[in-house]
Amino acid sequence: MKITFYGHNTLLIEINDKKIIVDPFITGNPLAKDKINISNITVDYILLTHAHQDHILDAEAIAKNSNATIVSNFEIATHYQNKGFNVHPMNHGGTWNFDFGKVKYVNAIHTSSFPDGSYGGQPGGFIIESEHKSIYIAGDTALTMDMKLIPMYTKLDLAVLPIGDNFTMGIDDAIIASDFVACNKILGVHYDTFGYIEIDHKEAKKKFLDKGKDLILLEIEDSIEL
Ligand code: NI
Ligand code: MN
């Protein structure tokens, strides 16, 4: 499993010959828009954690480009189905075996309106299991006791956690979250994109390291392999 960071909460996940993009927000991200040309992105699936603009902005353009299937909660999937896109609707607690692996849509504590204010269902995160690897993508969320359920489902190899604070967990809560999900390898996301969520990278890494945890902060377009 190869995971490439495209800024904010946007990840390109490559599993065998399948490509999955999570929460595509590139053309609106001042840190990513000059580095990545979304017309060069072709994927099989687009996973959306919730309907906020900074998670869905480029979903339609990439879906059109690729004829990709949009996977999200029922309300978000229906929104895109009504616009003619291929979708796979899920809801909290549900699991589906896709051709790239097993996906479970899990709880997040956040909100989920579309940019025009219409209802985007309840926000969530994803657990993806494939190739004997298991990752948790929290999406935008507060620290929640529901995270303690995740080790009952799977032994994670990586937890993708928001760390930017203000709109989501910050660093201290993300450290607790990594205990709850029982994973000491954390990919930090949802930081630095806007003024509200700028973080001190060195301090963040040190705080995790002091608890025996590895916080990975990737440069945009850099990858990790699991
Ligand atoms: Ni959000
Ligand atoms: Mn967000």
The structure tokens 């390291």 sit at: 209
Q: What's the gap in Å between 22 CA and the centre of ligand 2?
A: 12
pLDDT score recorded for residue 141: 98
Q: What's the gap in Å between 57 CA and the centre of ligand 1?
A: 12
Q: Contact, 149 vs 178, CB < 8 A?
A: no
Q: What's the gap in Å between 121 CA and the centre of ligand 1?
A: 12
Q: What's the gap in Å between 112 CA and the centre of ligand 2?
A: 9
Q: What's the gap in Å between 226 CA and the centre of ligand 1?
A: 27
In order along its 226 residues, the chain shows pLDDT tens digits of 999 999 999 999 999 999 999 999 999 999 999 999 999 999 999 999 999 999 999 999 999 999 999 999 999 999 999 999 999 999 999 999 999 999 999 999 999 999 999 999 999 999 999 999 999 999 999 999 999 999 999 999 999 999 999 999 999 999 999 999 999 999 999 999 999 999 999 999 999 999 999 999 999 999 999 9
d(CA 175, CA 169) in angstroms, rounded, equals 10
Q: Contact, 149 vs 180, CB < 8 A?
A: no
Q: How deeply is 116 buried, as exposed, middle or buried, from its count of CB atoms within 10 A (0-12, 13-18, 19+)? A: exposed
